[in-house]
Amino acid sequence: MPEVKLFAGTNTKKLADSIAGNYGQELGAMTLSKFSDGEMSPSFDESVRGCHVFLIQSTNPNADNLLELCLMIDAAKRASAYKVCAVVPYYGYARQDRKDRPRVSIAAKLIANMIMSAGADRIMTCDLHAGQIQGFFDIPLDHLNGSAIFVPYLKSLDLGDNLIFASPDVGGVSRARAYAKHFEVDMVVCDKHRKRANEVASMQVIGDVEGKDVVLVDDLVDTAGTMCKAAEILLDKGANSVRAIATHGVLSGKAYENIENSKLSELVITDTIPIKKESSKIKVLTVAELFAKAIHAVTGNDSISALFV
């Protein structure tokens, strides 16, 4: 079998170190040179000829992270790598997955085209904003699920019969329903209306949360405005407590301030995106073991079904 080598982009170096450690080897050596104007030039400091190469890099903004990944893929292909797999823990621009108004880009498809054009043979990611983005790729895609990380944690809280799940918007109902079905409990929906991106105009709760410990479920948290608004309304409706789980902690703008001042008991995220600072209300779980197991499965031609809850 081809030798397996793992390399990290600069944005995801800490997570990549953990993935490599769980996989059982060290990260490969590479250098990212920059010209004075910021132009990037990645190069591998060891041979990848005939190797099965995994390039680990989240593509959250700014756009340098995406461009660096594409340049790494191109460099590996031109260095005669056997196969190149782009490991993208957080797939940026996934929120722009359709034309929801006239004259806009479907950015999620454009990013897929860029990664494939760069030469990737496979992509591995976690909790896409919309599952249909898998269809934007004409190469194999391994779509991992954050529930493998969150379910054991929620079980450790031992919330018992008071547990109930909530979706912060109508679009996330299927995600919350999957958790509710697994725990055999009920779910509610927070129906929100936006005036513009990152700004919630109004919200109402569909369902009963009286005396319940609510867990809000989402794929990502950005400014945290929706989560904080939902927590406030759910508590007003009689909930005992409200905590939130979200795979990707984008946490931009006033997110940290919003979370600290909110009525959330805690926000649980993963390390697909490195957090900018610590917070007493933010708990970070790692996806390193999950990705390491997926890489083992891919290189051994095994099924990844066992990784799903």
Burial label for 278, CB within 10 Å (0-12, 13-18, 19+), is exposed
Confidence at residue 160, expressed as pLDDT on a 0 to 100 scale? 87
- pLDDT tens for 5-60 read 999 999 999 999 999 999 999 999 999 999 999 999 999 999 999 999 999 999 99
Confidence at residue 203, expressed as pLDDT on a 0 to 100 scale? 79
Q: What's the pLDDT band for 201 if we cut at 50, 70, 90? A: low
Confidence at residue 272, expressed as pLDDT on a 0 to 100 scale? 98
Tokens of 158: 């031992």
Helix (H/G/I), strand (E/B), else coil: 92: coil
Confidence at residue 193, expressed as pLDDT on a 0 to 100 scale? 65
**CA 261 → CA 227, 237, 244, 257, 280, distances in Å?**
12, 19, 15, 6, 11
- Percent pLDDT > 70 in the chain is 96
From 192, 212, 229, 293, the catalytic residue: 192
Confidence at residue 113, expressed as pLDDT on a 0 to 100 scale? 98
Check whether 199 has a pLDDT greater than 60: no
C-alpha 183/C-alpha 57 separation (Å) is 33
- Is residue 242 within 8 A of residue 234, CB to CB? The reply is yes
- pLDDT tens for 271-308 read 999 999 999 999 999 999 999 999 999 999 999 998 98
Calculate mean pLDDT across residues 144-170: 94
Burial label for 277, CB within 10 Å (0-12, 13-18, 19+), is exposed
- Percent pLDDT > 90 in the chain is 88
Q: What's the pLDDT band for 128 if we cut at 50, 70, 90? A: very high
Q: What's the pLDDT band for 191 if we cut at 50, 70, 90? A: confident
Known active-site residue 192: yes
Q: What's the pLDDT band for 194 if we cut at 50, 70, 90? A: low
